């Protein structure tokens, strides 16, 4: 009886081990082959976040550099651009160049906001409306170990 | 049949004309409840010195009957009671016009002929306290409180027990100095009290005015303020797509270098995906250097980009070129970072009408 139990146990253990081994083989077959590309994608995502912040910081019509126009009725109209950081998308692909092995694309929305108010002080406190969207694709190259 | 129809129409017209015109003003209750409180003491059975034409009690019952006909149905809780001795003759109920006066028909002085106004005001305490909202207590009395507790003190206690929810109004049948004094003192306990003398209420208009002063008021309807239509903000306009890349041309050069090709290839892939669009290849510079020089440089560089794209499979008629020089800076030219970003090439799409 004891021998039978031991044999059964061994057989079960063998079965589970075989199944687990087969499973891991199957799993490894579906894993992405291009680990480097995946790595560069992660890197590019970090680059993209910083790049969008840089674009917003330097935009000639950023919120801090709002375009203000005096209207015929004496009121003020304000306008500024802002890139939407929330819905940007990134994509990286390999290129055939040895010096520039990767190209990255950041897709984002450049949003234009407007508001109107009787005084400048009120304009500053006013809630701005989104009036225009400019879809953008910004291309970058990976060169000498860095995105540029 | 024709006669019947004609008669029906005439009756209908008559009814319409007979119905009172609805007031243009809105009527608002001053009280939620009212109690008609009748003094049925012995002194009320005396003939009044005023020209009432009947004894005070009968006159009071008749006045109550007439008042019962003019109080509007505004959802009051109406009730009735008598004192000397005290008894509730009509339990609190939703008031209907002409529903209370019959409850006072049997009012008559009891064996004890003394006027116990003070005790009556004490006895009515629970009835007043059990009502919700504001209550108008309308007392029909000659004020001769010659027995029991002090009438003014009892009225004071009743006010104290009911905070701002009570107003005591007295229809005076006083024909003695003492009665007048007691009634005046009770009326003076609160600024809300409406005074009325029995004889004056013989006049229908005065009676109607008394009922109005005690129980309701006309309110001009508030002007109808039209709510402004909700502002529907228009959806943002979607502008032309812009593809930007910063090609690192050599200084004062417009030559396409090998290291630029991966980005140009990527740009071409995007153009291939958007086969229905025409693109403007726009060259931009920063603000360093003379404007005319920058203008020329940007034109040469945009032309170089177009040439490469055409040579690599993009239809020439899908590409226009322009140079903006330093005239359309997208970024701040006062910083190195901004100037670097301004040195760019843009492909601006224009969908072709199908």
Beta strands in chain A (DSSP E): 67-70, 76-83, 89-94, 102-117, 129-143, 146-147
pLDDT of res. B50: 59
> Which of B158, B188, B219 lies at the terminal end of a domain, its last residue?
B219
pLDDT of res. A16: 63
| Residue B219 CA to its chain's centroid (Å) | 15
Beta strands in B75-194 (DSSP E): 77-83, 87-94, 135-141, 166-172
Nearest-angstrom CA–CA distance, B125 and B166: 11
pLDDT (average), residues B337-346: 92
- pLDDT for residue A31 is more than 60: no
The answer to whether A37 faces chain B, any CB pair under 8 Å, is no
Task: Answer yes or no: is B56 within a domain.
Answer: yes
The two tokens of residue B79 are 């009730």
Q: Are B201 and B286 found together in one domain?
A: no
Task: Answer yes or no: is B2 within a domain.
Answer: no
Task: Answer yes or no: is B231 within a domain.
Answer: no
Q: What SS3 class is residue A74? A: coil
Chain B CB contacts of A55 below 8 Å:
331, 341
Q: Are B163 and B271 found together in one domain?
A: no
Q: Are B207 and B304 found together in one domain?
A: no
> Which of B219, B251, B277 lies at the terminal end of a domain, its last residue?
B219
Task: Answer yes or no: is B89 within a domain.
Answer: yes
Task: Answer yes or no: is B129 within a domain.
Answer: yes
Chain B CB contacts of A98 below 8 Å:
none
Task: Answer yes or no: is B75 within a domain.
Answer: yes
Q: Please indicate whether, in this complex, the C-beta atoms of B239 and A133 are within 8 angstroms of each other.
A: yes
Q: Are B30 and B124 found together in one domain?
A: yes
Q: Are B212 and B248 found together in one domain?
A: no
Query: Residue B171 burial (CB < 10 Å; 0-12/13-18/19+)?
Result: buried
Q: Are B138 and B31 found together in one domain?
A: yes
Distance from the first to the final alpha carbon of chain B = 74
pLDDT (average), residues B242-264: 90
The two tokens of residue B186 are 């009770």
pLDDT (average), residues B256-267: 94
Closest Cα to residue B307, out of B295, B319, B297?
B319
Q: Are B130 and B260 found together in one domain?
A: no
Q: Please indicate whether, in this complex, the C-beta atoms of B266 and A105 are within 8 angstroms of each other.
A: yes
Q: Please indicate whether, in this complex, the C-beta atoms of A130 and B332 are within 8 angstroms of each other.
A: no
Cis peptide before B121 (omega within 30 of 0): no
**Min Cα separation B259/chain A (Å):** 6
The CA-CA-CA angle for residues A25, A27, A33, to 5°, reads: 100
The yes/no answer to whether this complex scores an ipTM above 0.90 is no
State what percent of residues in chain B have pLDDT above 70: 88
Domain count, chain B: 2
pLDDT of res. B8: 61
| Residue in B242, B258, B263 nearest the CB of A99 | B258
B236: number of Cβ within 10 Å: 16
**Which residues, at least 6 apart from A74, have a Cβ–Cβ distance to it below 8 Å?**
A118
Q: Assign B147 a pLDDT band (cuts: 50, 70, 90).
A: confident
The two tokens of residue B136 are 């108008």
Q: Assign A27 a pLDDT band (cuts: 50, 70, 90).
A: very low
| Residue in A58, A103, A110 nearest the CB of B341 | A58
State the sign of the Cα–Cα–Cα–Cα dihedral B307, B313, B317, B321: negative
pLDDT (average), residues A90-118: 95
pLDDT tens per residue across span B189-227? 999 999 999 989 999 999 999 999 999 988 777 777 777
Task: Answer yes or no: is B303 within a domain.
Answer: yes
Mean pLDDT of chain B: 87
> Which of B168, B188, B219 lies at the terminal end of a domain, its last residue?
B219
Q: Assign A102 a pLDDT band (cuts: 50, 70, 90).
A: very high
Q: Are B156 and B189 found together in one domain?
A: yes
Q: Which domain holds residue B250?
A: 242-351
pLDDT tens per residue across span B269-307? 999 998 889 999 999 999 998 999 999 999 999 999 999
The answer to whether A131 faces chain B, any CB pair under 8 Å, is yes
Q: Are B56 and B116 found together in one domain?
A: yes
Greatest pairwise CA separation for chain B in angstroms: 128
| Residue in B244, B338, B341 nearest the CB of A136 | B244
- pLDDT for residue A26 is more than 70: no
The two tokens of residue A97 are 């160049």
> Which residue has tokens 């009671």?
B81
pLDDT of res. B19: 47
Chain A CB contacts of B270 below 8 Å:
105, 137
pLDDT of res. B22: 44
Q: Are B210 and B270 found together in one domain?
A: no
| Residue in B261, B266, B337 nearest the CB of A58 | B337
Task: Answer yes or no: is B228 within a domain.
Answer: no
Mean pLDDT of chain A: 87
Q: Are B199 and B64 found together in one domain?
A: yes
Q: Are B102 and B191 found together in one domain?
A: yes
The answer to whether A67 faces chain B, any CB pair under 8 Å, is no
CATH number for the domain that contains residue B192: 3.40.50.410
Closest Cα to residue B179, out of B149, B146, B138?
B146
CATH number for the domain that contains residue B303: 3.30.1330.60
pLDDT (average), residues B235-242: 90
**Is A95:A104 a contact under the CB 8 Å cutoff?**
no
**Is B151:B145 a contact under the CB 8 Å cutoff?**
yes
Give the single-character DSSP code of B223.
P
- Range picked from A32-41, A129-138, B2-11, B247-256 for highest mean pLDDT: A129-138
- A-contacting residues in B 221-280 (Cβ below 8 Å): 233-234, 236-246, 258-259, 261-263, 265-267, 270
- pLDDT for residue B159 is more than 70: yes
């Amino acid at each position: 009886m004891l021998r039978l139990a031991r044999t059964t146990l061994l057989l079960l253990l063998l079965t589970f081990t075989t199944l687990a081994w087969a499973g891991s083989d199957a799993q490894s077959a579906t894993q992405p082959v291009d680990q480097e590309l995946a790595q560069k994608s992660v890197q590019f995502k970090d680059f993209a976040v910083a790049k969008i912040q840089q674009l917003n910081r330097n935009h000639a019509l950023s919120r801090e550099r709002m375009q203000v126009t005096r209207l015929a009725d004496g009121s003020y109209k304000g306008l500024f651009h802002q890139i939407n950081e929330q819905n940007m998308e990134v994509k990286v692909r390999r290129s055939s160049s040895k010096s520039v092995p990767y190209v990255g694309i950041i897709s984002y929305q450049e949003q234009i906001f407007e508001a109107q108010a009787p005084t400048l002080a009120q304009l500053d406190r006013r809630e701005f409306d989104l009036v225009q969207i400019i879809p953008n694709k910004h291309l970058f190259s990976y060169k000498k170990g860095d995105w540029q | 049949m024709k006669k019947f129809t004609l008669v029906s129409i005439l009756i209908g017209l008559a009814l319409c004309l007979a119905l009172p015109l609805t007031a243009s003003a809105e009527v608002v209750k001053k009280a939620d409840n009212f109690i008609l409180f009748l003094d049925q003491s012995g002194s009320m059975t005396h003939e009044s010195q005023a020209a009432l034409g009947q004894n005070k009690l009968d006159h009071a019952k008749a006045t109550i009957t007439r008042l019962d006909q003019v109080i509007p149905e505004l959802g009051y809780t109406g009730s009735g009671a008598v004192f000397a001795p005290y008894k509730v003759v009509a339990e609190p109920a939703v008031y209907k016009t002409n529903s209370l006066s019959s409850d006072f028909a049997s009012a008559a002085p009891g064996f004890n002929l003394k006027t116990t106004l003070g005790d009556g005001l004490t006895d009515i305490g629970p009835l007043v306290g059990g009502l919700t909202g504001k209550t108008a207590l309308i007392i029909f009395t000659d004020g001769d409180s010659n027995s029991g507790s002090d009438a003014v003190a009892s009225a004071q206690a009743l006010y104290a027990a009911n905070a701002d929810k009570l107003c005591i109004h007295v229809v005076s049948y006083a024909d003695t100095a003492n009665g007048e004094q007691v009634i005046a003192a009770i009326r003076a306990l609160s600024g809300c009290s409406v005074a009325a003398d029995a004889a004056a209420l013989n006049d229908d208009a005065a009676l109607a005015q008394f009922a109005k002063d005690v129980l309701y008021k006309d309110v001009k309807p508030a002007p109808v303020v039209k709510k402004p239509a909700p502002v529907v903000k228009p959806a943002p306009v979607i502008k032309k797509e812009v593809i930007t890349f910063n090609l690192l041309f050599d200084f004062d050069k417009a030559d396409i270098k090998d290291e630029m090709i991966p980005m140009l290839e990527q740009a071409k892939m995007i153009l291939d995906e958007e086969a229905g669009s025409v693109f403007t290849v726009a060259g931009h510079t920063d603000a360093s250097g003379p404007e005319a020089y920058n203008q020329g440089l940007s034109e040469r560089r945009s032309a170089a980009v177009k040439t490469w794209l055409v040579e690599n499979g993009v239809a020439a008629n899908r590409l226009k070129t322009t140079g903006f020089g330093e005239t359309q800076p997208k970024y701040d030219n006062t910083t190195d970072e901004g100037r670097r970003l301004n040195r760019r090439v843009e492909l601006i799409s224009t969908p072709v009408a199908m």
